[in-house]
Chain A
Amino acid sequence: MNRLVAHKKDLYQLRFSPMCKPAGEVANLTQLESHTTRARTMMMWRIALGCVGWGPREVELLYESTLDSISCAFDVFHYPIHRYVLDARADVWEAGLAPACVREAVEASARPSVGEPRGCGARAQAVLLAGEVAQLGDDALLRALEAALKAASVEAVPWVVQTGALAYALGAREVATAQAQRVAEGVRTSGVQTIVADGPETAWALTRIYPALGVGLPEGVAVRLLAEVLVDALSGVRNGIGGCEQEGAAAGALCEACGNGTVFVHDSRPAYLISAGEPGHTAILPGYTEDEVTFGQGVAYEAPRALLDALGARRVWGVWTRALARTSGADDGLWLTYPKLAAGLAAQRLDYAEHLGARLLVTDSPLGAAFLSRHATGRRIQVRLLAELFCTNSK
């Protein structure tokens, strides 16, 4: 139980800094000082130093948050605060101090998922790895993803499986490792060369968490975001896993459900972690006048936008997009552990999109779409999964 100690030097520097306050997602909701990044780093520093132990409230504060990954985008020197939180949670989990709600969420995710990559024989080229769908257990979402791939003439067999991302976020490293090994083994056995990730969290797990856990995917296996595959198909690019027979077949006006309204793209938190670029300083200064890409670049951001542009969407954006994107509440298991906080975060995201004049919120994250939809009831704004939209428009 000393992973946190390794971050003592960084925590020492951050412990009194009030500068990251607007990036503290839960703090913005509760306004409680102990939820701010400063307070949390001060708490973790004091614990790492042995001044105070992990009492029940300290543990609760550690989990009453997202990973605050956006803090590393927000503070000018990019301290990876999410790593300190992750390691602190691993310490707490190992010490058996995790709250009941956290243990229950991990236990639920550890139940064996049904089936292996169906139909993955020697002829299968790709698997649709539905890690986000696995957390939801929502067949309708899986069908939407499959339909989108079919519309794009991409052959990929679905596999609904826990990737380990949830367990990892909650500190249960052994559970996460076991789940990661199972996925890696399944991919190896199936012989597929491409994994199509159902959303950013799944891609984050495969590309960032697995190396951290020491789990390797078979050599030569490519990981691609579903949105990336769809946008390639739209533009008629041969992608090695099928290919679109009718170039630009899906292009056209947005579906009727959107009312040709204005669209806001929600980037789920893991999108930041798999993005290519971090924001420049201008992004955090008042009076910014830069383009949206100032706030982060990479396929995780560009693919959903390219797809929406091809569908004729009129997109709006604000400062809290891309690398500064705040969580929908569905990231890092918060919706399972502290649902009231998560619901508050979802409401904030919807409020913000509405404030920008959006009639439709679109995300490529099945988790985000499901959770935000749940909290959009009775609102003017609608929430749609990108793949679902693609499918509707390509009919």
Chain B
Amino acid sequence: MSASDLQLKMILHELASVVGREHVVTDPADLMPYGVDFFWVPRMLIDRGRLPPLPDAVVLPGTVGQVSALVRLANVYHIPVVPWGGGSGSQGGAMPMYGGMVMDLKRLNQIVEINQANGTVTAQAGINGYDLENALNEAGWTLPHYPASVHSATLGGYLACRGSGTISTKYGKAEDMVLSVQVVLPNGDVVRTLPVPNHAAGPGILQLFVGAEGSFGIITEATMRIEKLPQVRRFRSYLFPDMRAGLEAGRRIMLDRLQPLVIRLYDERSTIKTVRRVLDIDVERGAYMVIGFDGFEDVVAAQERHAFATCEEMGGEDLGEEAGRQWWEHRYDFYFPPKVLDFPWMFGTLDTVCTFDRIEPLYWAKRTALEETYKDWGLFYYAHFSHWYPWGVMAYDRFIIENPPQDPDQALALHNEVWDLAVRVNLEHGGVINEHHGVGLKLARHLRAQYGPAFQVLEGLKSTLDPHHLLNPGKMGFGPPR
């Protein structure tokens, strides 16, 4: 037995002494699933017979104290630590790039308190989104965060990636719903952010951990705002003459503060390609929009009246309630096989967000740049606009290359080039590198460009909190462990 093998066994013994033997796994068959989340690259590697980076061990702590003890141990031996939730992230944020320890947090799955007086829930970070939602529904409440990954993702994952759900237009993103978090810092200390998110007690550190993907600490518990289940929730769909008319209708509705639950506007291509295929709605032209409202019936009726008038003013053809309901009931179908995008295609969601005045130029610039540059690869671009703010809107745009290179290295190179160009266009047109999927490995190299000189703020925090770069190394532009 070599010295390194012996050392590994000794460390594994220490890990097991913290969480118990059955909660430390090292067999390759057990490690394999932790090498792949929903990022295209590790899936491509597996698809083509290669292996993605795997951890040396997976540990499953059952208490916050155990998380803390494991992190302290990692500091002793300089072991990389990669937090793992539902494994449904699309950016490679949970990939163990430097081996080490993957910390699967799903055993931290308890609801601490549903506080009906405050309209909050406090739960451990590893709880599955669907399980949490069911528990809240039983009590007459909902966490109005319905991402496509709700059946898989965890509460911690929602926050770590600043995720967004289907009805974010009314209820906000994960970072808008969080009141406070409990975090295990990179040195093992357990801290709690301020009990409320709105205050004047300094700059606030809550949002440093939300979206940091485990780089500044491991979120172990969170208190979230919840909502009462609405009296009514209704949907309507419209077909606009073109995308521009639909965008303008959406802009007016948002500036009128009509608080739609959802506005989902598909560009002309998506209207034909996706809506017809998945929703079985016979549409051959125009831009399809589904819009919904929820709450008290009389309030909803008033909101609908104003919003529908705006839609009709912009030339929208009323397709009725049924088509809107159809979308709502089948909204996750797009993400289940066989309808979800899959191999052998190369694909990616290039989502960004910007102000209303910039969204259309950004859309056309990106579409033109990508399709012109990768004409030989037959790159196809399409988009919908699904998360709206009072100041702007997010573009959920995608590219598809149906016949990418089969060689993994060539495929990876092409994939990265497409992303580099898309990100450049996003930044040049007042957008950001991502709206709600996070940074992960996919976009780590672009974070410096995103922040410019302000990146030193993040870098300084990282170096101070995690001088050895042990927490989720290789992500967020921070580089390898030191």
Contact = CB atoms under 8 A, between A and B. Distances in A.
B128 A18 contact: no
A16 B137 contact: no
A33 interface: yes
Contacts of A20: 151
A18 B152 contact: yes
Interface stretch (B102-110, B247-255, B472-480): B102-110
Nearest to B102: A33
A33 B87 CA distance: 9
B134 A21 contact: no
Contacts of B72: none
A366 B33 CA distance: 37
B110 to A, nearest CB: 12
Contacts of B152: 18-19, 21-22
B133 A22 contact: no
Contacts of A46: 46
Interface residues of A, number: 39
Contact of A19 (B28, B229, B335): B335
Contact of B106 (A17, A31, A43, A76): A31
A101 B342 CA distance: 38
B330 interface: yes
Interface stretch (B142-150, B169-177, B447-455): B142-150
Interface in A158-180: none
A14 to B, nearest CB: 6
A18 B88 contact: yes
B107 A31 contact: yes
B203 interface: no
Interface stretch (A116-124, A282-290, A367-375): A282-290
B28 to A, nearest CB: 8
Contact of B87 (A14, A15, A18, A318): A18
Nearest to B131: A22
Contacts of B342: 13, 16
B202 interface: no
Contacts of B330: 281
A33 B128 CA distance: 13
A76 B29 contact: no
Nearest to B30: A34
B149 A18 contact: yes
A46 B104 CA distance: 23
A281 B34 CA distance: 29
Contacts of B88: 18
Contacts of A14: 337
B335 A21 contact: no
Interface in B330-355: 330, 332-333, 335-340, 342
Contacts of B29: 34, 43, 55, 57-58, 61
17 contacts: A13-B342, A16-B43, A18-B38, A33-B87, A34-B25, A39-B33, A42-B32, A42-B33, A46-B46, A76-B332, A76-B333, A284-B332, A285-B332, A286-B134, A287-B137, A287-B229, A318-B138
Given A21-B86, A21-B152, 9 more contacts: A34-B25, A34-B30, A38-B33, A42-B33, A61-B30, A75-B336, A281-B330, A284-B151, A285-B332
Interface of A: 13-22, 31-34, 36, 38-39, 42-43, 46, 51, 55, 57-58, 61, 74-77, 79, 281-282, 284-288, 318-319
Which 4 residue pairs across A and B have the least CB separation, nearest first? A286-B133, A39-B33, A31-B106, A18-B152
